[in-house]
Amino acid sequence: MAPGAIETVSKNTIAVANRKLGDESSHDIVLKSFRLLVADLCQQFNGGHPGGAIGMAAIGIALWKYTMRYAPHSPDWFNRDRFVLSNGHTCLFQYCFLHLTGYKAMTFDQLKSYHSERVDAFCPGHPEIEHEGIEVTTGPLGQGVANATGLAMATKHLAATFNKPGFDVVSNHTWCMIGDACLQEGVALEAISLAGHYKLNNLTIMYDNNQITCDGSVDLTNTENINDKMRACGWNVIDVEDGCYDIQGIVNAMDAAKRSDKPTFINIRTIIGLGSKVAGTAVAHGAAFGKEDVANMKRAYGFDPEQFYVIPDEVRAFFKNLPARGDKFVEEWEQLVDDYSKEHPELAKRFRARMAGEIDPRWQELIPAKTDFPSKPTSTRAASGVVFNGIAKNIDTFMVGTADLSPSVYMYWPGAKDFQQPDLVPARGEPGDYTGRYIHYGIREHAMGAIANGMAAFAPDTIIPVTSSFFMFYLYAAPAVRMGALQHLRAIHVATHDSIGMGEDGPTHQPIELATLYRAMPNIHYIRPADTEEVAGAWISAIQTKGTPTIISTSRHSLPQLAGTSRDGVLRGAYVLEEDDAATLTLLGVGAELSHVAEVAARLRAEHGVRTRVVSFPSWRLFEAQPLEYRRATLRRHSTRVVAVEPYAPNGWERYADAAACVTRFGHSLPCKAAYRFFGFDADSLLGKVLGYLERVKEDELLGREFVEL
């Protein structure tokens, strides 16, 4: 195919004529300078990932110079196009373009911080959301594709909600750069399938098809027909044959993408490390080329091999107009929003509030008081619906979804409307639209987590995504949940079936060690509430905590409502449920088993004369944030023996307890009560364990000073 030609495979893609670019004469020098800049930056500390960034140079020019709508001097402009570098190791690609296009923070000095020992560098080894011009942190492959899907869904939803004829106040496009690796990762494949289903025509993937990964040629491990696969997933596919040089062709493809009625996959053939002697090989991927090779590149390009980081004036001039162009975009858009405010004042007010990340404060009033909750036993998953459904229904900020467990998670509120594509006519007979705030993610837990991150990353708190599944499947989603915590993206994850009490589904579904992961993971709140009141506390914590995701961990089975529980106690992580100043024993209870603990305490007092106090302990992280005095007064480790009760791996309870009734093996398929009995978590068994422990420590003084598993 001739350079610049486009194969518009989808019959729905409108053929796009060449758009006059204007600055073609500079392309050659810009490409060369960019490639040498990347090579020099890797050479500086003899490390990094030069090959991909170099191979993608023409794509970057097509994107930042000719296609993307953004404003370097207003990097947080609400309606900017979003760019996601899913192949995050090629970060120099983005850093160099941020520098060239005039992002103020990305000074030349900062650009040179790549791989340096500078602690305040804006150029870490993978792009990080904290830095100007970076939309999401990437690195773990495939995540970016799903983040981009979430960003595009956010646009679709906000546009459907707020745009009015003549007032497209939300109209941005999401551009996602990927490499060969992202197309192999399950999380990306899940998101691709969903993006195709949702017809996210505001999403474009640009595939840096260099057919090289760390191990060598991609065909060592992947020989699928990717174009056919993407088409089968509902994507528009466009090929670009010469992705190293054919800027016009790439621009044409991007123009076509913006006119597609589907998401677009631009398959762009490139050569990794173009110009280097290791071009086209895996060696070009993850190591500096070496001084001589770079010098030879410079000679071949007509540059001085003794000069480094050269950005010729012509290159500066090429990018010079972009900040001003960006300012104009912003200005026009602000004018549009002003006009919109006059025409649609109420809607505009809501829109501005959402842009500012303001959550309608009525949410607090929508949570019933403890005394207004039903007093009958309720599963905490159902309680979660009781607490949150009213908020979800009334507060537009929340986009609630599930990985195909609507009947189990109780997150679907009466009258909830699905986020759905317009060509689909669901059972109720109306065509779908994007105003809906209930998302069927499908059985795609990992993508659900990463898409939620993308929605949260659109703008701080403009959308708060709520995901839901069985707790055990948050292990599938864990890499995405981790990325959310790392990026301070606030998603709320509602995880039911959180103990052996979930029963018959057995050891594959019974979480034993998973809470340990989330209790150790930085910047996330894992909360296991014990009844409806504590569920209220968990939701209050989740909604009022900015910049930190929360997992609300709930039971499948019914739990009694306990007299002493308190939402305020939940906010402190742990609190005294039953006090006794003269107690010699403290029992720590959590979530579904707190009522067992309360029962055991009552029997210890009544039948065995053991003065026992009870602490409810829904969240370690929230508790750690309390003052030392509060923590000591709650646990009373120095005046009582402390025993934790939780059918989980004990790891970490050692900090709060002298012993724990715990589970150190995998679960067992049994009905709820039988499972508790089998693992010794019914009141009878627990009573025996605690009494036995109290006996044993009398006999063995050392044991009393060691952590004991019961």
In the window 117-146, what residues touch a second copy (CB under 8 A)?
A: 117, 119, 121, 124-126, 128, 137-142
**Nearest-approach distance from CB 328 to a second copy, in angstroms:** 35
Site string for a second copy, 389-428 (x = CB under 8 A): -------------x-xxxxx---------x-x---x-xx-
Query: Which of 60, 196 has the CB closer to a second copy?
Result: 196
Grouping H, G, I as helix, E, B as strand and the rest as coil, residue 496 is strand
Rounded distance, CA 559 to CA 249, Å? 63
Grouping H, G, I as helix, E, B as strand and the rest as coil, residue 7 is strand
The pair of structure tokens assigned to 68 is 């993307």
**DSSP structure string for 271-282:** -TTTTSTTTTSG
Site string for a second copy, 363-392 (x = CB under 8 A): ------------------------------
* β pairing state of 264-269 and 203-209: parallel
**Nearest-approach distance from CB 28 to a second copy, in angstroms:** 32
**Nearest-approach distance from CB 129 to a second copy, in angstroms:** 11
Q: Is 521 in the site for a second copy (CB under 8 A)?
A: yes
Query: Residue type for 242, please?
Result: D
Rounded distance, CA 220 to CA 419, Å? 40
Radius of gyration of the chain measured on its C-alpha atoms? 28
Query: Which of 72, 140 has the CB closer to a second copy?
Result: 140
Q: Is 523 in the site for a second copy (CB under 8 A)?
A: yes
Where in 378-490 does DSSP place strands (E)? 378-379, 398-402, 438-440, 464-470
Q: Is 225 in the site for a second copy (CB under 8 A)?
A: yes
Q: Is 651 in the site for a second copy (CB under 8 A)?
A: yes
445 is catalytic: yes
What are the C-alpha distances in Å from 184 to residues 178, 190, 366, 446, 694? 11, 11, 44, 14, 55
Query: Residue type for 559, please?
Result: L
Q: Which residue has the tokens 């864990």?
A: 478
**Nearest-approach distance from CB 475 to a second copy, in angstroms:** 5
Cβ of 20: how many Cβ atoms within 10 Å? 7
- Which region holds residue 609: left if phi is over 0, alpha if psi is between -120 and 50, else beta? left
The pair of structure tokens assigned to 200 is 């996210």
Out of 73, 197, 259, 393, the residue judged to bind a second copy by CB under 8 A? 197
Q: What are phi and psi of 402, to 5 degrees?
A: -150, 150
Q: What are phi and psi of 314, to 5 degrees?
A: -60, -35
Query: Which of 222, 394 has the CB closer to a second copy?
Result: 222
Q: Is residue 657 a contact partner of residue 664, using CB atoms and an 8 Å limit?
A: no
Q: Is 471 in the site for a second copy (CB under 8 A)?
A: no
Query: Which of 1, 520 has the CB closer to a second copy?
Result: 520
Query: Residue type for 314, please?
Result: E
Residues in 306-345 at the binding interface with a second copy, rule: CB under 8 A? none
**Nearest-approach distance from CB 508 to a second copy, in angstroms:** 3
**Nearest-approach distance from CB 184 to a second copy, in angstroms:** 4
Rounded distance, CA 594 to CA 602, Å? 12
Q: How buried is 143 (Cβ within 10 angstroms: 0-12 exposed, 13-18 middle, 19+ buried)?
A: buried
**Nearest-approach distance from CB 193 to a second copy, in angstroms:** 6
Out of 358, 513, 579, 695, the residue judged to bind a second copy by CB under 8 A? 513
| Stretch in the footprint of a second copy (CB under 8 A) among 51-59, 175-183, 489-497, 541-549 | 175-183
The DSSP secondary-structure symbol of 438 reads E
The pair of structure tokens assigned to 441 is 């993610």
Query: Which of 362, 673 has the CB closer to a second copy?
Result: 673
Site string for a second copy, 90-119 (x = CB under 8 A): -------------------------xxx-x
| Stretch in the footprint of a second copy (CB under 8 A) among 10-18, 177-185, 379-387, 525-533 | 177-185
Spot the catalytic one: 128, 185, 445, 533. Answer: 445
Rounded distance, CA 686 to CA 279, Å? 66
Residues in 578-637 at the binding interface with a second copy, rule: CB under 8 A? 632, 637
The pair of structure tokens assigned to 18 is 């060449």
**Nearest-approach distance from CB 680 to a second copy, in angstroms:** 13
Residues in 231-270 at the binding interface with a second copy, rule: CB under 8 A? 231-234
User: Which residues are catalytically annotated?
Assistant: 445
